[in-house]
Structure 1
Amino acid sequence: MTVGSEILSKFGRKADDPLIIQKCEDLIRIFNFSVEELFINWESYVLTGASDVNLQLSPENLEKLKDYLQNKLVQAAAQKNNTTPMMKNKIVRSVARGNINGSSPLMGLNTPSTPVSSQKKRKLVTPSSSSTTPSKHPLSSSSPIKKSVQVSGKIIESLNEHIPSLGGLKSDTDQTPNVSTSNITLTANFDPKKYQFRTMRQKLLDTADVLDEQIDSMAKTLQKHHKIPESEFGNPCIASQFSVYCCGRIVPDSPSAPVEIRLNPDSLFLETSRLGGIGQRISIDVQFLSEYSFFPGQIVGFKGKNPSGERFIVEQVLDIPYLGAPASNKTELLEYKTNLDGSSMKTTVLSGPYTPSTKIDYSLLESFVEKLNTEIKPHSVIMFGPFLDITHPSIKDGSIESVPEIQGKKITTLDGFFRAVITPILKKIDSRIQVILIPSTRDSISSHAAYPQNSFERKSLQLPKNFKCFPNPSSFQLNECLIGVSNLDSFKDIKDVNRGKIGEKNRFDRIADHILQQRRYYPSFPGALKTRTGSDGTVEHISGADLDMPYMGLSELYDVLPDVLIIPSEMRYFVRVVKNVVVINPGYFLTGNNAGTYVTLSVKPPNPEGDDDDLTCINDDDQLYIHNIWKRARVDIISV
């Protein structure tokens, strides 16, 4: 007798409906019931859970039965662990992720327009010193900045060396000097109001909802991509002799495990969502996999079985589909080409700190600005913080030796220090150059010390209009080139356990692939911590990822992969091509007291009417072209 026949014989003619039979079979598979057990639970629900003895058998009421059974499992698990579950009488369904303008507020994409609180003024406690003026650099260091081993201006590493490193601003004698006339188009792909949330107000329930939504949305993606029926997705924590598909998050074996601990194949657990497995964790056995790469916080899809109820044996890792590539129409591409007179678009990328670790000294940044204007001449500059590092010893101790005065009054706040010392240096950048500032959570001038992070306030920093302050992370377009930026060190913080050929790949390629596949700039969870051990042996927390989980939806890649992904890291500088995305770590402008590196990105102009393969036409009717920046761009990593 088939399962459907058993259901009809047990429930009677009221079950003679394909939808009802399908729903009953789903419940049997999910909860590992026999038909008899399902009937008993239905009767129990009618008498106790629904309080309606005349409740009709229907797909909708069977869905309510499913919620009722899950609720009972939650209560049983809570009693077993002698803890009271947060969601004792209610299973909250996660909301499906929408687009950037209409998505769940729990994912941080429809955040309330709460005004940013007034920025706290930090006092500078400094020894007495002679008065100086902001026009002259007041902060010379007794420990001069050491040039790197590499010769200044030397190209250390390149991508697409065959492409000429030309382009940039032209010295046009007909053009009035220092008049802002940009010939590139800068477009922001984010809503700045969504980053204006208050920090240090996380609620445990909101965090849980976001973590659940990440799993549930990925489960839907995997079902659609692999064409897996919903009935074949099950709970990996329930004992079953049959293989099921499941989706969850990789976590260590103990919830109290230190953040910095490294995983090993025997310490891997899978955490389910409330919808997919009532939030339980189960140990996973990966010994039958020929290759894998897992890290804490990674969302994965598995096929396997749990015969004992204590360990899920993984038989297959489901491939997560990548987002598509950005595309532009022919008219836009020709317009970008015309605006640049057929020359390449040139962008310079540099990342803080901009002062040595022993003293506050911006002389190297000042000389680099002169080099930008006279030698490099880019169309745009992307500058990552920190500009004034709150963890710098001189800032932390208030031991800045020389503080400038403005109109006879000594500067007493770090905001005022930025305006008096750093702003005059930045203002020297040619006004034709578009400058994009990305904050760091270590920036003392930022009142938003959490990730995702709100942008600087340009007007309060007294910066000119060619400066654009963008949030961290964010995405924007320079002409047709879509650039994604994040100022949180994913390459250092993601520590994976791997096996097989995937472990033989370059580590930076592997981590970049994880970022693109997970569709988040910072897919690791929990976030990393940075500590410092004092002379007395005490451990001090000085920095870290500082994740604001209810708003982590703002750290997603959204609808398409970027053409260029820039994430500064403490790790060695590099430029790689991963899944046709140019991935760049520009290195730091200064490392300790040594001059570091910066990057120049030169992109050949798009030519949709040419015969070369620099562009890929994907729709002849609409004349849409994939940008293929990885083919058209030359990237040079250069010593400062």
Structure 2
Amino acid sequence: MSTEAFREEIAKYFSEAVAADDALVKECMNMCRMYNKTVQDLCYQWQALSYNTTNIISIFTLKSVPDLKARLQQELGRANASRQEPAGKLGGLTKASNARSLDVPLNVGPVRSNIVKSEVSDVAGPSKVVFQGPRTDDQSQRSRAYRYMYEKVLERSEALDERIDEFADLIQKHYQIDDLGDPDAATEEPITVVGRIVLDAEASTSGAKLNESSLVLESSRMMGSGVRVPIRLSPETKIRGGLKGLGGIGLFPGAIVALRGRNGGGGFFLVDEILALPPVKAPSPPLNDASTAFSMCIACGPFTPDADLEFKPWMSLLTNLKSTKPAVLLVLGPFIDTTNSRIKDGEIDVTPEELFKRVFTDQLQEFLIQSPGSTVLLIPSVNDIISDHAVFPQCELGVEFGGDPRIRLLPNPCRFSVNGVSFGATSVDVLFHLRKEEFFRRAPEVNPVIPESEPATDAMSNLARNILQQRSFYPIFPVPLELAHEVNLDVTHSEALKLVQSEDECVPDVLVIPSRLKQFSKVVDTSTVINPSFLSKGTYAVLSYAGLGSVLAKDRITTEIFRLS
């Protein structure tokens, strides 16, 4: 339909005044295109919205557009939810959806638990990918948008104990141990204990880093009455069951460990062996199909230097995207950063929401007009001023920040998949926190696991391996005091921090963990780990997946770190 014919439709169903407003006509055209509506449908939607909120049918103006978009988005979400069908588990996603033609519209789906469902969204233009993500039903969204600052001490302690007890079950099964012991009980025979590494009281109050003399093991109430016992590592302490060639193990506050040794009554537990944690199940092979190939651009905020709000790096990236047209754009916050000096000093003449719409929503819609088959994924940060949920784990941004059904709003952290390739992503700088807290203990290996290829043993790979082995997007506890403002950890809801939700779920094929540490892309065990760093530093990552290849996805993935020109 031509612009003039569309204007006549607007005049017929809305009014001549609306048809005379070029900006309003443009907005109506965008909504009709994005949500597959006729002008008549759009008018009926506005009349219903206006009457339900004010009991009268108001004049349609530019100020009415955001409310109408939000209504259309909610209606689309409800329609999609009614068509949801089971599609397998996230870790080992069933491949029925992957075998479908990629000419169908975008498949959306849930990931809050390990069970994922898919749904078809009516979008303008066919999507290049089949996407499965967090559940979008009302109950799942409400559970992610939980009330914070209402934690009770008992609930926190139960959540901490539950994590120890879950690992205790895994370790018993893996090493075929009949009974686990209490580290505080004096014994003559060696016993196996499971607990959490903590700093001793003196070191924690002085701000000292974890070291061999300050190691303390905290047991759960079920296995050791929750007591804390100092542990001693000797030169003869060995590591059992780890990957051959690692040469040691990373310890940090919050790490769950299994130790074999004895408490001779001297007030400490003497460690003979450190038992490596059971490995997470390897990813299932994706469908071997050339049509499942896709490209993904990954960028993380801040998107502008601290001294301004001009967002030049972001605009430069968008220019590149309009020419390369990746199938997926993964963007992690902070979008409007609370730590930006201009924001902190109040040197801004628009609301943060208006700034986000102008800089991100409008620009992304322009990108999607030029690349209609692309999908955009947005993950917030606890430093985002536009988010009213400034805790970790964090719910997705409000529906008003989407603006297009091809712009997907995801929680922080989250698991999702694209064409059968599973991803895990968070905007929290967990690598930097681990680097600051980790104590790497070298020790001889006993009965090591022989990997298919030589494992990466550099510092960054070891930090990423801690995340994978501890099965958590943020395995540190407590958060380092000087970095607490970057996380705002809600322990009671740490269930949402799990990298895998069950023993049967697989480790992600790709783990995206942006950090202020130097950018990199590495294969760690069976996962590709990407740190694109921050766009304000001029770097971002581009991932290419070849549908054809060897068994695992990591062998079909190539990743490059680019620098803005």
Specify if TM > 0.5: yes
State the secondary structure of the residue aligned to 1:276.
Answer: helix
Deviation by residue 1:110-151 (Cα, 9 ceiling, x = unmatched)? xxxxxxxxxxxxxxxxxxxxxxxxxxxxxxxxxxxxxxxxxx
Within 5 A, what are the aligned runs for 1:477-492? 477-492=417-432
Asked whether the equivalents of residues 397 and 409 of structure 2 are also in contact (C-alpha less than 8 Å), the reply is: yes
Letter in 2 for 1:426: L
Residue equivalent to 2:99? none
Residue equivalent to 1:67? none
1:284 matched to 2:231? The reply is yes
**Gap change, CA 1:353 and 1:512, over 3 Å in 2:** same
Within 5 A, what are the aligned runs for 1:513-592? 513-530=465-482, 543-558=485-500, 559-591=505-537
**Residue 219 of structure 1: CA displacement?**
0.5
Residue equivalent to 1:630? 554
Residue equivalent to 2:325? 377
Residue equivalent to 1:451? 392
Paired with 1:512 and 1:395, the residues of 2 have a C-alpha distance of: 33
Letter in 2 for 1:436: L
Within 5 A, what are the aligned runs for 1:237-636? 237-254=184-201, 257-258=204-205, 261-287=208-234, 288-290=236-238, 291-327=248-284, 333=287, 337-338=290-291, 344-374=293-323, 376-400=324-348, 403=349, 411=350, 413-430=351-368, 431-458=372-399, 460-461=400-401, 463-494=403-434, 495-500=437-442, 505-530=457-482, 543-558=485-500, 559-591=505-537, 596-606=538-548, 614-615=550-551, 628-636=552-560
Paired with 2:444 and 2:356, the residues of 1 have a C-alpha distance of: 46
**Residue 309 of structure 1: CA displacement?**
4.3
**Residue 432 of structure 1: CA displacement?**
2.1
State the secondary structure of the residue aligned to 1:554.
Answer: helix
Deviation by residue 1:300-328 (Cα, 9 ceiling, x = unmatched)? 00110000240100011112111212326
194, 199, 203: which one aligns with 2:143? 194
Asked whether the equivalents of residues 296 and 525 of structure 1 are also in contact (C-alpha less than 8 Å), the reply is: yes
Paired with 1:637 and 1:260, the residues of 2 have a C-alpha distance of: 35
**Residue 367 of structure 1: CA displacement?**
3.0
195, 200, 212: which one aligns with 2:161? 212
State the secondary structure of the residue aligned to 1:557.
Answer: coil
State the secondary structure of the residue aligned to 2:377.
Answer: strand
Question: What fraction of aligned residue pairs are identical, expressed as a percent?
Answer: 31
Letter in 2 for 1:570: R
State the secondary structure of the residue aligned to 1:240.
Answer: coil
State the secondary structure of the residue aligned to 1:198.
Answer: coil
Asked whether the equivalents of residues 402 and 408 of structure 2 are also in contact (C-alpha less than 8 Å), the reply is: no
Higher helix share: 2
1:183 matched to 2:128? The reply is yes
Residue equivalent to 2:10? none
Paired with 2:317 and 2:496, the residues of 1 have a C-alpha distance of: 33
Paired with 2:476 and 2:526, the residues of 1 have a C-alpha distance of: 23
Letter in 1 for 2:263: N
Letter in 2 for 1:469: L
Deviation by residue 1:369-408 (Cα, 9 ceiling, x = unmatched)? 121011x2210000000010011111111013xx3xxxxx
Choose 285-294 or 461-470, whichever is displaced more.
285-294
Letter in 1 for 2:155: D
Asked whether the equivalents of residues 132 and 416 of structure 2 are also in contact (C-alpha less than 8 Å), the reply is: yes
Q: CA RMSD in A?
A: 2.3
Within 5 A, what are the aligned runs for 1:55-204? 179-189=124-134, 191-204=140-153
Deviation by residue 1:438-489 (Cα, 9 ceiling, x = unmatched)? 100000000000000000113x125211100000000000001000001111
Choose 465-474 or 500-509, whichever is displaced more.
500-509
**Gap change, CA 1:254 and 1:383, over 3 Å in 2:** same
State the secondary structure of the residue aligned to 1:327.
Answer: coil
**Gap change, CA 1:269 and 1:223, over 3 Å in 2:** same
Residue equivalent to 1:84? none
Alignment gaps of 5+ in structure 2: 1-101, 104-122, 239-247, 446-455
Paired with 2:508 and 2:316, the residues of 1 have a C-alpha distance of: 32
Paired with 1:502 and 1:436, the residues of 2 have a C-alpha distance of: 44
- TM-score calculated relative to the size of structure 2: 0.69
Paired with 1:212 and 1:560, the residues of 2 have a C-alpha distance of: 24
Letter in 1 for 2:558: R
**Residue 256 of structure 1: CA displacement?**
7.8
Alignment gaps of 5+ in structure 1: 1-168, 171-177, 404-410, 532-540, 607-611, 616-627
Deviation by residue 1:236-256 (Cα, 9 ceiling, x = unmatched)? 111122211110000001188
**Gap change, CA 1:511 and 1:238, over 3 Å in 2:** same
Paired with 1:436 and 1:259, the residues of 2 have a C-alpha distance of: 42
- TM-score calculated relative to the size of structure 1: 0.61
Deviation by residue 1:589-611 (Cα, 9 ceiling, x = unmatched)? 013xxxx21101001113xxxxx
Asked whether the equivalents of residues 192 and 471 of structure 1 are also in contact (C-alpha less than 8 Å), the reply is: no
Deviation by residue 1:482-506 (Cα, 9 ceiling, x = unmatched)? 0000111111111211232799931
Letter in 1 for 2:470: Q
Paired with 2:268 and 2:277, the residues of 1 have a C-alpha distance of: 23
Asked whether the equivalents of residues 502 and 510 of structure 1 are also in contact (C-alpha less than 8 Å), the reply is: no
Asked whether the equivalents of residues 453 and 471 of structure 1 are also in contact (C-alpha less than 8 Å), the reply is: yes
Letter in 2 for 1:638: F
Letter in 2 for 1:461: F
Letter in 2 for 1:325: A
Runs of 4+ in structure 1 deviating by more than 6 angstroms, as ranges, are: 501-504
Paired with 1:378 and 1:629, the residues of 2 have a C-alpha distance of: 19
Paired with 1:429 and 1:471, the residues of 2 have a C-alpha distance of: 23
Letter in 2 for 1:455: E
State the secondary structure of the residue aligned to 1:426.
Answer: helix
Paired with 2:227 and 2:170, the residues of 1 have a C-alpha distance of: 21
Paired with 1:529 and 1:389, the residues of 2 have a C-alpha distance of: 21
**Residue 180 of structure 1: CA displacement?**
2.8
**Number of equivalences:** 411
Residue equivalent to 1:20? none
Letter in 2 for 1:456: L
Asked whether the equivalents of residues 247 and 272 of structure 1 are also in contact (C-alpha less than 8 Å), the reply is: yes
**Gap change, CA 1:577 and 1:258, over 3 Å in 2:** farther
Asked whether the equivalents of residues 240 and 309 of structure 1 are also in contact (C-alpha less than 8 Å), the reply is: no
State the secondary structure of the residue aligned to 1:257.
Answer: helix
Paired with 1:578 and 1:473, the residues of 2 have a C-alpha distance of: 20
